Amino acid sequence: MNDSNPIGRLRVGLVGAGFIARFHVQAFLSVRHVAIAGVYGPTASRRDAITREINALELGPCRAFASLEAMLTSGEIDAAWILAPNDARLDIMREIHALKTSGKAPLIGVACEKPLARTLAEACEMLRLAESAGLLHGYLENQVFSTAIQRGKDIIWRRAAPISGRPYIARAAEEHSGPHMPWFWQGRKQGGGVLSDMGCHSVEVGRYLLTKPGAPRSDLTLVSANATLGNLKWTRPEYVKKLQATMGAEIDYASRPAEDFSRAALLFKDADGGKALVEATNSWAYVGAGLRISIEVLGPEYAMEFNSLGGGLKVFMSRAIVGGQGEDLVEKQNAEQGLMPVLEDEPGVYGYVGEDRHMVDAFRHRRLPAENFADGVGVAEMLMALYRSAEVGKVVELPSPELETYIPPVARFE
């Protein structure tokens, strides 16, 4: 699907009004030719609040809708951004499919937050539904669109790889002290623990950096997966109590924990039989200034490094500066005193601006985005292979048909 006459202004409908929706709202401030025209979320107070914020930022005109059907059939929405919790995404996609195929919703495209689904089977259905409805589809993996990642990949592949050979190792880590909302901590709702929540970022940004520019992710074939999962912090008695106090009694890590640490190794081969390795480390047990993302790429005669907390801006506040808690310096901020790194543009540093700009441009020109649901399916396959490896305690060789119906143990809790 392609059209030489682009849509003048893409009208986006947000499906979800929580934490991640607010990141996208901030990102859209730096995106041209787009309006956030509608918001649907199940909680009226939250969808009304974010709608007021969108209009105050002059990103609309935007209005809140009491149902997904009302928003998508209003004639005011060209593309939907699925920003709802993991366990709701497939049902949302099914409703979008039904409304589109019945002719009630004149949508062009749909974009979905990471991970695409909780299991490989769900991810495959998400892709099938999008394709069946004739929808363009984008997978919202923000780290791939980070300015640092885009620039770093361009340099190493343009200047270094042609001379000494393609990169062979990508290391990615994302760590913080724990998620914002209760559903993230529940294996059944989220689909896992930190491996699902943050490992989905790390494995995909690693695979992206090792893939030749312009080539699809399928240019690398997954050969094997090896993972170790752990409960290092949040199953300790004092933290079980703390988690229940902050997230609710249903979050019981004494009896139903999800992993708070994961280490993963994914082996790939290229078309020439060359090997490439992605190493990913993820943790909800890291207490530093705040969220930390670190990425490395190694090649025969070169290296690339990125650390999200290694920017130039820092502030210091002595113990005499006393105030309330917040996240005005960095996401998942753990302190308000001392020497603190400051992310002056979190949506840009993390890649939300780049991904939203790319999705809007692709949908306006009726092109399939470079990061799409097929890539989300690939991420789901990697994650399921890693969960299976941790469950059986050995390397999982690919392809593995059993992954098509596999559900990680942590997601089997009822």
pLDDT (0 to 100) of residue 1: 54
Residue 317 near residue 338 (C-beta atoms within 8 A): yes
Instruction: Provide φ and ψ at 275, rounded to 5°.
Output: -100, 145
Buried b / exposed e across 16-33, counting CB within 10 Å, b at 16+? bbbebbbbbbbbbeebee
- Residue 219 to residues 270, 273, 376: CA-CA distances in angstroms? 6, 11, 15
Q: 24: part of which helix (H) or strand (E)?
A: helix 19-28
- pLDDT given for residue 180 in this prediction: 86
The confidence score (pLDDT) of residue 332 equals 55
| 108: nearest Cα among 1, 256, 28, 219 | 1
Structural domain spans, the chain: 10-143+353-369, 144-311+379-411
Intrachain domains 10-143+353-369 and 144-311+379-411 with the same fold: no
Joined tokens for residue 119: 């299991």
- Model pLDDT, residue 413: 67
Contact status, residue 142 vs residue 168, Cβ threshold 8 Å: no
132: number of Cβ within 10 Å: 12
Residue reference for tokens 């690919």:
398
The answer to whether 200 touches 114, Cβ cutoff 8 Å, is yes
Asked if 303 and 164 touch (Cβ cutoff 8 Å), the reply is no
Q: Is the pTM of this model over 0.85?
A: yes
Note the pLDDT tens digit of each residue in 38-55: 999 999 999 999 999 999
| Residue whose token pair is 């609040």 | 49
Contact criterion met (CB below 8 Å) for 10 and 79: yes
Residues 6+ apart with CB under 8 A from 182: 247, 248, 250, 251
Place of tokens 């997601």: 411
Query: What DSSP assignment string belongs to 105-149?
Result: ----EEEEESSS-SSHHHHHHHHHHHHHTT-EEEEE-GGGG-HHH
Check residue 107 and give its pLDDT.
98
What's the pLDDT tens digit per position in 20-42?
999 999 999 999 999 999 999 99
Nearest CA among 352, 359, 360 for reference residue 10: 360
Q: Are the CB atoms for 240 and 246 separated by under 8 Å?
A: no
pLDDT at 119: 98
Instruction: Return the number of other C-beta atoms located less than 10 Å from residue 266's C-beta.
Output: 27
C-beta of residue 347 within 8 angstroms of C-beta of residue 26: yes
What's domain 144-311+379-411's superfamily in CATH? Answer: Dihydrodipicolinate Reductase; domain 2 (3.30.360.10)
Map tokens 């990949």 to a residue. Answer: 153
pLDDT under 50 in the chain at which residues? 318
Architecture of domain 10-143+353-369: 3-Layer(aba) Sandwich (3.40)
Instruction: Tell me the Ramachandran region of residue 214: left when phi exceeds 0, alpha when psi lies from -120 to 50, beta otherwise.
Output: left
Residue 202 to residue 221: CA distance in whole angstroms: 17
Contact at 8 Å (CB) between 166 and 94?
no
A 10 A CB-CB count for 242 gives 14
Each residue's pLDDT tens digit, 102-146? 999 999 999 999 999 999 999 999 999 999 999 999 999 999 999
Q: Report pLDDT for 196.
A: 98
